[in-house]
Amino acid sequence: MIYDPTLGLVFIKTTKVAGSSFEVAITPLLSEQAIITLNERWVADRVAAKTIQLRNTHWLPPTRLAAQVLRHRHDALCIPADILRGRGSRHECFSFEKDHMTAQQIRDQIGQAEWDRCLKVAIIRNPYERVVSDYFMKRGRSLSPNDFPPISEWLRRNPERILRNEQILRLSEPGADQSPQKQIDLDFVIKYESFETDLMRLSNELGIDGNTLCERFQATRIHSEFKSNQALMLKRFALDPQSKSLIDSLLSWQFEAFGYESVVPFEETA
């Protein structure tokens, strides 16, 4: 996530939408006061490795920090250097802010008035592509990728993964007895399929250098090791009809709100 009180920006980071690459691209253009949850695990990417020093978060309270130090002793070796650095921990386990904070968590932290004042930005992506990309990431990170279940079986076991981004973008209505949930009204949407065009529009909104932002984004490719040719094929998805129907029903609002078309799935082939 990103919160920049000077620019008036809140970036709600959803999953499998190139959000990490976006954070790396925009971070040097933010103010010194910006809270930025850049992830230490990205250092394999050359652009991210130079940017990670700009990560800025709040340390956990002492009692919670001590417990985390005991759990993550290897990462704790960086704490003295991070204290001298003065921008919070580079490791998420020691920080108050997390990589994929929900809209609810961000609003609770900065307050309703500041939430209302800021430009709330998120990235959206074709629902089929996002789900397939999530599958390939999970398979790539598994202990036995070759034995990982096919996507149809995986989705039936883990339907909550389809709604991961909806959970991130959901808010509780203040003052309601039963805390009903609602999808937040985003002020600015970056579409994955028109990323650079939308980055230029966002730059104009924020008053930052759009050319630099786009150049940095082009040079950053985080998590590319999990990508597959199948995941990148335009309008061809390794989805069986049942899995496609599940996505259609759970994410129908995205198709309607952002103009994505329901496509005919192709069976996955060997």
| Per-residue model confidence (pLDDT) at position 42 | 83
Q: What's this model's pTM, rounded to 2 decimal places? A: 0.88
**What confidence tier does 231 reach under pLDDT thresholds 50, 70, 90?**
very low
Q: Which residues contact 9 (CB under 8 A, 6 or more apart)?
A: 2, 3, 30, 34, 118, 119, 121, 206
Which phi-psi region, left, alpha or beta, contains residue 74 (left: φ > 0; alpha: ψ -120 to 50)? alpha
| Per-residue model confidence (pLDDT) at position 237 | 52
Q: Which two tokens stand for residue 191?
A: 């579409």
| Per-residue model confidence (pLDDT) at position 188 | 97
Domains of the chain plus CATH, in order, are 2-57+97-258 (3.40.50)
| Per-residue model confidence (pLDDT) at position 216 | 96
| Per-residue model confidence (pLDDT) at position 91 | 93
**What confidence tier does 20 reach under pLDDT thresholds 50, 70, 90?**
very high
**Percent of the chain topping pLDDT 70:** 87
CA–CA dist 155, 24 (Å, integer): 30
CB 255 within 8 A of CB 156: no
Q: Which two tokens stand for residue 156?
A: 């039936």
Residue 51's nearest CA partner among 100, 10, 2, 118 is 2
Tell me the pLDDT tens digit for each residue of 206-224: 999 999 999 999 999 887 6
Query: Which range among 45-54, 89-98, 234-243 shows the weakest confidence by mean pLDDT?
Result: 234-243
**Percent of the chain topping pLDDT 90:** 61
What is the pLDDT averaged over residues 125-154? 89
Q: Which two tokens stand for residue 109?
A: 């932290």
Q: What are phi and psi of 183, to 5 degrees?
A: -80, 135
Tell me the pLDDT tens digit for each residue of 106-139: 999 999 999 999 999 999 999 988 998 899 889 8
Task: Report in angstroms the alpha-carbon separations of 261 from 195, 241, 256.
Answer: 18, 15, 9
> Average model confidence (pLDDT) for the chain?
87
| Per-residue model confidence (pLDDT) at position 249 | 86
**What confidence tier does 244 reach under pLDDT thresholds 50, 70, 90?**
confident
What is the pLDDT averaged over residues 11-26? 96
What is the pLDDT averaged over residues 25-47? 92
Q: Which two tokens stand for residue 111?
A: 């307050």
| Per-residue model confidence (pLDDT) at position 227 | 55
Asked whether the predicted pLDDT for residue 66 surpasses 50, the reply is yes
CA–CA dist 270, 119 (Å, integer): 45
